[in-house]
Homo-oligomer: A and B are copies of this chain.
Amino acid sequence: MTDTTLATTFDSLHNPTFLQACMRQATPHTPVWLMRQAGRYLPEYVATRATAGSFMGLATNRDYATEVTLQPLERYPLDAAILFSDILTVPDAMGLGLSFAQGEGPRFAHPIKTEADVAKLAVPDMVKLQYVFDAVSSIRKALTVDGKGRVPLIGFSGSPWTLACYMVEGKGSDDYRLVKTMLYSRPDLMHKMLQINADSVAAYLNAQIDAGAQAVMIFDSWGGVLADGAFQSFSLAYTARVLAQLKRHGTDGKVVPRLVFTKGGGQWLQDMKALDCEVLGLDWTVNLANARALVGGLEYGSGVSGPGKALQGNIDPNVLFAPPEAIESEVAKVLNSFGTPFQGNGTGPTHIFNLGHGISQYTPPEHVAALVAAVHRHSQKMRA
């Protein structure tokens, strides 16, 4: 993983801490961003969405997507931006017909029910997703100040398995009965769909990289609902298939770190250690000290990244409903649980602070300010 362009990558950013931590390099504070940081808890987001008319109206319009992506950065000193989009754009481009009814989750008009439905699936023409790539380029431009990016921009996709869950269920599910019925009854169909999903996700993320994404994240939101054994065969293997196809550098020649987050995947860290990616995301059930010992890797003085993973996470988003003093104390617990990150000149264990799941729409915005400030303050203190 030696990369001579690393320094250049970081030079092109006012705040490169997120990318540095992804590459397991020392940073002056623990970088922090929040899953779903551009979202309904922000009144300015709600206002823009009202103007756009709908969630898809927002997500498919380059200017709106740019506007809402930057909104949380205006309020909080976050260390990364993440593309405003949805994890289900890829199956939508496959023709499944994505919509978001008011107050409900996503729905597909044409879910995958039969062998014939699976037979019709194919990697979609990326032209259908041009609105996403346009948004990426537009956001990169909007982030540029004095010729440098304020913070890096993260692109993302749902994982092959997570997409399959929605494609078969047609919407969110409590029990994943339909998708698991297919998995256990017709594993051949499920594998076929997952191959197509993996190749689609790889093409999708590569196009985001070409458009300017400086890191890419795979959200395996539903990997944790699988049984031990099934997770490895039906989720992890296809995340690996995506990773194997990903470009390692942007069009500017700069390295693009890859992040994988499996909600509920804490028991499979040992398996995920083998993934060809830089960062593993963790939910709040995971003990960060154990995770660091297991997959955080050793310290290297050579300046290249070792075989370990940077870790991202993992505070319970519900902490944000507590008063600021309680938020501060819970932030300290999470940072202390990881321990002082690597501080030398080579590479070693690093931590990117995040929630263990997307932020709740009911979160008081001023509590987010308290969290971000606490992460920066306490993590600087730990390094002193």
Contacts and interface: CB of A to CB of B under 8 A. Distances in A.
A164 to B, nearest CB: 14
Contact of A177 (B175, B184, B288, B360): B360
A226 interface: yes
Contacts of A183: 318
A323 interface: yes
A285 B184 contact: no
Interface string A323-343: 100100010010001000000
A96 to B, nearest CB: 22
Interface stretch (A49-57, A145-153, A207-215, A228-236): A228-236
Contacts of A356: 227
Interface string A283-294: 011111000000
B184 A330 contact: yes
A176 B318 contact: yes
Nearest to A322: B184
A326 B285 contact: no
B185 A285 contact: no
Contacts of A323: 185
A325 B319 CA distance: 46
A315 B227 CA distance: 8
A39 to B, nearest CB: 14
B360 A175 contact: yes
A287 B180 CA distance: 19
A204 B231 CA distance: 38
Contact of A285 (B264, B286, B321): B264
Interface of A: 175-177, 180-181, 183-185, 224, 226-231, 264, 266-267, 284-288, 315-319, 321-323, 326, 330, 333, 337, 356, 360, 362
